[in-house]
Amino acid sequence: MLSTRMKNYRQLFESSELLWEKLGMLNAAQRRNFDERFMMSWIFHDFALEGQMLSVAEIKAAIDDEIISTPSLIPAYLHVKAVRDGIYMLLETRGKRLQLSLEWLKKLHQTLLPQGKKDQVQYRKDNPIHRMYFHDLAPADKISYRMRKLTDWFRTEECRKAHPIELAVEVHRELIRIFPWPDISGRVARLAMNAILIAENTGRASCTTTSARPTTTCSGSIRTSCCSWCSTAWTRGSARRAGSTRALLIPRGRDMQ
């Protein structure tokens, strides 16, 4: 008999498959409209988690190459474009097997760096006091070791056998705890999590600032509060290593109509 967790996982996969099936039934104009809203929603929530509230007009101005922006806004818009490019890169991997590695994580990080800063790939050198993420971070002198430890885990049997949702959560949680880069580590962690989910044809995890607990949206994506997700979403493997009995449970979401 399937456990509650596995039933929830199966429902997520079924919802995702139904979503892709329904998207295939849209005409070209409807699909463009959906893709635009999907992209803008993703960008909005990602920046909101970092404390930046963007309007629809601002996001459109940033991601539409035909709109001529005010010079003073271009530096901020370059960050939005970088996130857009990262999302496009993820969507191209749908259904393809990912090769999880340190090089893969570094590529995600470099993709999310704005134009003109693509060479700023060094790990952070200090331990920030004022930041958006209020939890213990790896000391700066331990980052290289912790990153190697994470990527060594990618080659283990435990990682290869992990359920895609549990794997995505574990990678996200560990990157947030390490926080390897000074500015966009949280963004890289979310992109890595979604890369794993999308590669397995699962809906993306939408980390919003209003959700109180993980749920499944009608579009088949996982919606969760980032803070509660980081603190409570433990895979069985990480819980076992920590001596805890907690396990990841994703509540049942609404069936797609």
Q: Kindly list the averaged pLDDT for each block of 10 residues, start to end, along the chain of length 257.
A: 70 80 90 90 91 89 78 83 93 85 94 91 84 77 95 93 90 94 92 90 60 37 38 35 32 29
Predicted pLDDT at 153: 94
Determine phi and psi for 224, rounding to 5 degrees: -155, 155
* CA–CA distances in Å: residue 77 to residues 58, 72, 107, 206: 8, 10, 21, 21
Nearest to 206 by CA among 226, 187, 189: 226
CB 214 within 8 A of CB 223: yes
Helical pair 56-63 and 74-91, crossing angle rounded to 10 deg: 80
> What is the enclosing helix (H) or strand (E) of 35?
helix 28-49
Tokens standing for 93?
Answer: 């991997």
Domain boundaries in the chain? 25-241
How much is the pLDDT for 205? 65
Query: 152: annotated binding-site residue?
Result: no
Condensed to tens digits (0 to 9), the pLDDT of residues 116-157 reads: 898 889 999 988 775 666 678 899 999 999 999 999 999 999
Strand partners, 205: 222
Please state, rounded to an integer, the average pLDDT across all residues of the chain: 77
CATH of domain 25-241: 1.10.3290.10
> Could you tell me what percent of the chain has a pLDDT over 90?
39
Supply the pLDDT for residue 178.
94
Q: Which stretches of 188-251 are assigned E, i.e. beta strand? A: 205-208, 215-216, 222-225
Is 189 flagged in the annotation as binding?
yes
250 is in an annotated binding site: no
| Maximum Cα–Cα distance across the chain | 60
Q: Give me the half-sphere count of Cα atoms (radius 13 Å) on the Cβ side of residue 8.
A: 19
Structure tokens at 107: 């590529």
Q: Is 56 annotated as a binding residue?
A: no
Q: Which residues contact 49 (CB under 8 A, 6 or more apart)?
A: 132, 186, 190, 207, 209, 226
Q: Known binder of ligand: residue 16?
A: no
**Residue 183 has which token pair?**
């500015």
Distance CA 257, CA 59 (A): 29
Dist. CA 80–CA 54, nearest whole Å: 10
| Alpha carbon distance 29, 199 (integer Å) | 26
